[in-house]
């Protein structure tokens, strides 16, 4: 250290908090709860889902290792972060997404959204969602072509989410939606949506598995409950005001999956408890507004990416001073 460097204050990128729990441990826990969702998606949608998952995971790991080798940085495949990005990207894609599109989405997620910003912990936007957003705006038709479960050949079919959307101010009841989508009754519709027996993305259908994963991750303190709860509660409240069945809001689309796995991303969500509540509220509000008024049937992806952009601002306006302790109340003077 030179003489001129003494008594200087240095700033480094996060994390600044030391913990015995390593990044690899946290990533491994997330992979462990994502695997049942991936396997369930393969059971529902068959070989196309398996091919999409393998293509996404292998591509993400390969692109990260190749980029870091070319830029002469440490190869961090062992921290599982690229595996998680690959799994998350695959689970929010339609089962029959062409392989080359999946590989292209993985490249955009890892290289553009993550490594160009400095790698793990320095990215502004969620990499998996950024990769999916790139694919959606570039190749809208394949990304909105859905396959029904347990069908060998890919057949385009409507998702329940597209049916619950208000058309000309008219909102269908659960019973009417059940009739239109081929279910026997409201109860049959709710049960099948809960079990994932409907068209959709590979990992967003199994609601019961997402709920189990949320409980495990919150209990293990891998994720914080505030952002997911605020996001789901806000989306349900706003869509309920618009006349949409609250249960259908939760059971359709990717609301639960996004709330549990995307809105809790360490690098792209706020660090303070109040900031996480505001973040979740914003995600839920934007999701509901897009579902009710937007051109797309789903708004989870856009809502989280928009709120990702506000995360640095939320961290700044809701700060917690390091080492600050709330002063004790003064005792009343005895007369």
- In this prediction, residues 247-256 reach a mean pLDDT of 91
- pLDDT at residue 333 in the model: 54
**Out of 87-96, 167-176, 220-229, least confident range:** 167-176
Dihedral of alpha carbons 268, 272, 277, 278, sign: negative
Burial of 169 (C-beta count, 10 Å sphere; 0-12/13-18/19+): exposed
- pLDDT at residue 153 in the model: 59
The rounded distance, in Å, linking the Cα atoms of 264 and 272 is 12
- Given a cut of 90, whether residue 64 has pLDDT beyond it is yes
Of 120, 102, 113, which Cα lies nearest the Cα of 54?
A: 102
Take residue 254 and report the two structure tokens written for it: 């990717």
For 152, the 3-state DSSP assignment is coil
Rounded to 10°, the helix 186-195/207-219 angle is 50
- Given a cut of 70, whether residue 13 has pLDDT beyond it is no
**Out of 152-161, 173-182, 224-233, least confident range:** 152-161
Contact 87, 199 (CB under 8 A): no
pLDDT band at residue 87, thresholds of 50, 70 and 90? very high
Please list the residues that pair with 156 across neighbouring strands: 147
- pLDDT at residue 76 in the model: 82
The rounded distance, in Å, linking the Cα atoms of 2 and 326 is 40
Pick the more confident residue, 6 or 120. Answer: 120
Take residue 50 and report the two structure tokens written for it: 């398996």
- Given a cut of 70, whether residue 320 has pLDDT beyond it is no
Residues 6+ apart with CB under 8 A from 261: 30, 34, 88, 213
Dihedral of alpha carbons 68, 69, 72, 75, sign: positive
Residues 6+ apart with CB under 8 A from 61: 77, 82, 83, 86
Number of other CB atoms surrounding residue 288 within 10 Å:
26
For 118, the 3-state DSSP assignment is coil
Contact 143, 131 (CB under 8 A): no
- pLDDT averaged over the chain? 86
- In this prediction, residues 224-230 reach a mean pLDDT of 96
| Distance in angstroms between the alpha carbons of the first and the last residue of the chain | 61
Contact 16, 189 (CB under 8 A): no
């Amino acid at each position: 250290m030179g003489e001129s460097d003494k008594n200087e204050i240095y700033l480094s990128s996060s994390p600044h908090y030391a913990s015995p729990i390593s990044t690899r441990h946290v990533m491994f826990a997330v992979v462990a709860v994502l695997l049942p969702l991936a396997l369930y998606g393969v059971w529902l949608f068959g070989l196309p889902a398996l091919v999409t998952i393998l293509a996404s995971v292998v591509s993400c790991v390969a692109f990260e290792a190749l980029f870091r080798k070319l830029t002469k940085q440490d190869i961090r495949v062992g921290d599982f972060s690229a595996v998680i990005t690959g799994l998350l990207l695959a689970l929010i894609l339609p089962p029959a997404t062409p392989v080359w599109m999946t590989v292209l989405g993985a490249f955009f997620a890892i290289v553009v959204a993550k490594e160009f910003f400095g790698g793990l912990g320095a990215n502004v936007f969620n990499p998996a969602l950024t990769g999916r957003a790139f694919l959606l705006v570039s190749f809208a038709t394949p990304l909105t072509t859905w396959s029904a479960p347990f069908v060998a050949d890919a057949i385009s079919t409507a998702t329940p989410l597209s049916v619950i959307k208000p058309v000309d101010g008219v909102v269908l009841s659960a019973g009417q939606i059940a009739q239109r989508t081929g279910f026997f009754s409201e109860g049959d519709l709710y049960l099948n949506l809960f079990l994932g027996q409907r068209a959709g993305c590979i990992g967003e259908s199994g609601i019961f598995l997402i709920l189990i994963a949320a409980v495990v991750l919150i209990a293990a303190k891998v994720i914080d409950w505030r952002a997911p709860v605020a996001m789901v509660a806000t989306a349900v409240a706003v869509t309920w005001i618009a006349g949409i069945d609250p249960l259908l809001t939760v059971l359709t689309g990717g609301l639960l999956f996004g709330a549990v796995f995307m809105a809790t991303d360490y690098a792209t969500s706020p660090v303070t408890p109040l900031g996480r509540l505001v973040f979740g509220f914003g995600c839920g509000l934007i999701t509901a507004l897009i579902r009710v008024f937007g051109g797309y049937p789903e708004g989870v992806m856009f809502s989280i990416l928009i709120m990702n952009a506000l995360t640095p601002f939320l961290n700044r306006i809701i700060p917690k001073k390091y080492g600050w302790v709330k002063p004790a109340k003064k005792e009343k003077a005895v007369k």
